[in-house]
Structure 1
């Protein structure tokens, strides 16, 4: 069975690994995680570390861009529903019953 580790535990393990006071094997035994997993977490932290030092407004702009991209499917869905309702009404105005 897989064990899920929250972000705080991952950060704690990686910081200890970076200190190099214990071997990966010792940390793995202490936290009951495979040494390869610790290495993976360490790589993730190191590859994402530069983002911590971005100016706040740059991060906010990137976040807003992502949120806008997430909203596009919902906007398209609302537009499709509107068109569908309009077509139903138009169909009924011409004396035909709408049957899905």
Structure 2
């Protein structure tokens, strides 16, 4: 079994995947396969987006 090196994902990709997950048009498994990331990673990005969305509009207050 080959070990995959640690990858870093751009903020743009994370946002795109998280928004797609929020839309709910595809399952986590489908999104994971499409973007080649683990489903639990998508869940984490989705949670971060929901938790920090208010900062975008509230100026961090």
* Corresponding residue for residue 46 of structure 2: 42
More helix by share: 1
Alignment partner of 1:4 is 2:47 = no
CA shift at 1:30, angstroms?
0.7
Q: 1:52 Cα shift?
A: 1.1
**Root mean square deviation, CA, Å:** 1.5
Runs of 4+ aligned residues of structure 1 deviating over 4 Å after TM superposition are none
TM-score (norm 2): 0.84
Report how many residues are paired. 57
Larger Rg: 1 or 2?
A: 1
User: Structure 2: where are the runs of 5+ without partners?
Assistant: none
- Where in structure 1 are there 5+ consecutive unaligned residues? 63-100
Higher relative contact order, chain-length normalized (CA < 8 Å, sep 6+): 2
1:54-93: per-residue Cα shift (whole Å, max 9, x none)? 15xxx5xx8xxxxxxxxxxxxxxxxxxxxxxxxxxxxxxx
- Provide TM-score, normalisation by structure 1: 0.53
